[in-house]
Structure 1
Amino acid sequence: MNTSHNKSKNKIYFVSDFHFGSPDGKSSIEREKQAVCWLENIEDSAEEIYLLGDIFDFWFEYKYVVPKGYVRFLGKLAQMSDAGCKIHFFCGNHDLWQRDYFEKELGFILHRKPLRFEKDGKQFFVGHGDGLDKSDTKYKILNAIFKNKICIKLFASLHPRWALAIGTHWSKQSRHSHHKSDYQDRGQNEPMYQYCIQSLQSQHTDFFIFGHRHLCCDKELKNHCRYINTGQWREKKPFAEWDGENLTLKNFDQAEEIH
């Protein structure tokens, strides 16, 4: 065993909101190729990768059927998983209907809720980030419907040809319903920022890392605790990197920052 090679695999990477499948097949494949290029760049240093939700713009998994496509991205992750890299997949609000395909076939670790863990003496709290705004009544109602077992079974009774077409259309409509103002930074009034502040009152956390907002940011909370959002992978291709001492928000377009 090459122990020197294993020792170099000591970094953790966080990324979210690729939204593969959106807005069309051509641009999605191009974005997928860029994501694979990023994975190839971090492959030699990645001990773990946290995919923080909405990796797919829509995903509904049947017992024996999964959506077609995304083979470049999933194949690369499977290769890295086979080589010992831990791949954590968090369900987002666009790709929450998972069964066991990722776990059994690709070796992923599936998370349906946010995760708290300790690494190198630091406390991390990570997840997609949806549902943290307790005042969002519309989201609460939709989330209850989407996670209802009866509703899921009824939807699964549809032929995949129709179910996936309906789901993809809904996902696009959901995205188009948002205004640009929905993605503007609200400063300390950001629901996720407020969630972090309130959480710190009861439990210390060094790093809160979420996606969902499509708003890339790195904000100090208090006592050197930080809230980081990995944004969406469309323009600057943001991700966060933990090297054992420092957590850094980076852009893949800035190749000189990739080691």
Structure 2
Amino acid sequence: MQKKVYFIADAHLGATCVPNSKEKERRLVAWLDSVKESASAIYMLGDMFDFWFEYEYVVPSGFTRFLGKLSELADAGVELHFFTGNHDIWTFGYLEKEVGMKVHRKEEIVEIMGRKFFLAHGDGLGDPSLRFKFLRAFFHNYVCQRLFAMLHPYIAMSVGLLWSGKSRKMKENRFSRYLGEEKEHLVQFVKKYDGPAVDYFIFGHRHILLDETFGGRRMLVLGDWISLCSYAEFDGETLALKQATE
């Protein structure tokens, strides 16, 4: 069987404002099970959890089916790559040690079957907003992370889930559709990119399906696993966006 590489993003597991979140987790797990024989690697490009913050001896409750299925895939030899998003930055070793993922904390160029992929969650790329840059620096700051870790987990998780829910609701109406080349920060990033040669750019973050070429550069946005149940598949020759079926 020809092995394939899969890309997914933005499941936001555990989101309190998403209806039937457990059912959505089951659907994601069912899809993971369906690709376990064909997958050589799965790249998760951020925000797989709606809010994830690890303590040394405490991790968020829930996600048992999802983490269990990923552990099963890792044990079977499937490479698991986890790119942190803006909702699940705060992983400090658990996913690597217990699940078997490789965690990536920033965008990377990865060679897959002879092709170069620029992979990232996408938050901050091409976005000139000073407010966003401040928040991103704040969330990634080691001192701020340690101070937050001093909160009791019950308080920390409550605050984190409240922030996460409000953040997404504020963006839902404005960003749930394609805004056009000039207003899409990721499109602007790809058009202005002047780094090493890349065959494909793949992002999450925007919760839309996009497969377009800008200035000779092919760019995919992966959609999400809240309403679209979408993913990208690469077999060494063809890269395609698809949606999971029941």
* Alignment partners' CA distance in 1, 2:178 and 2:18: 30
Measured after TM superposition, the shift of residue 176 of structure 1 is: 1.5
Q: Does 1:218 align with 2:204?
A: no
More deviation in 209-218 or 144-153? 144-153
Mapping for residues 88-107 of structure 1, pairs under 5 Å: 88-107=81-100
Mapping for residues 1-259 of structure 1, pairs under 5 Å: 8=1, 10-24=3-17, 27-189=20-182, 190-199=184-193, 201-223=194-216, 225-253=217-245
The amino acid that maps onto 1:229 is V
Query: Gaps (5+ residues) in structure 2?
Result: none
Which residue does the alignment assign to 1:4? none
CA contact 2:46–2:205 (8 Å) conserved in 1? yes
* Alignment partners' CA distance in 2, 1:20 and 1:184: 21
Query: Gaps (5+ residues) in structure 1?
Result: 1-7
Normalising by structure 2, we get a TM-score of 0.95
More deviation in 76-85 or 172-181? 172-181
- Residues 139, 46 of structure 1: alpha-carbon distance in 2 compared, 3 angstrom cutoff: same
More deviation in 115-124 or 103-112? 115-124
Measured after TM superposition, the shift of residue 214 of structure 1 is: 0.9
Per the alignment, in what secondary structure is the counterpart of residue 208 of structure 1?
Answer: strand
The amino acid that maps onto 2:218 is R
Measured after TM superposition, the shift of residue 9 of structure 1 is: 5.8
Structure with the higher fraction of residues in helix conformation: 1
CA contact 2:17–2:165 (8 Å) conserved in 1? no
After superposition, give the CA deviation of every residue in 1:173-220 in whole Å (9 maximum; x if it has no partner). 111122512232122221101111111x44321100000011111011
After superposition, give the CA deviation of every residue in 1:59-106 in whole Å (9 maximum; x if it has no partner). 100011000100001100000001100000111000100100011111
Between the aligned residues of both structures, percent identity stands at 43
* Alignment partners' CA distance in 2, 1:162 and 1:233: 27
Give the total of aligned pairs.
245
* Alignment partners' CA distance in 2, 1:74 and 1:24: 21
Per the alignment, in what secondary structure is the counterpart of residue 176 of structure 1?
Answer: helix
CA contact 1:241–1:248 (8 Å) conserved in 2? yes
The amino acid that maps onto 1:237 is C
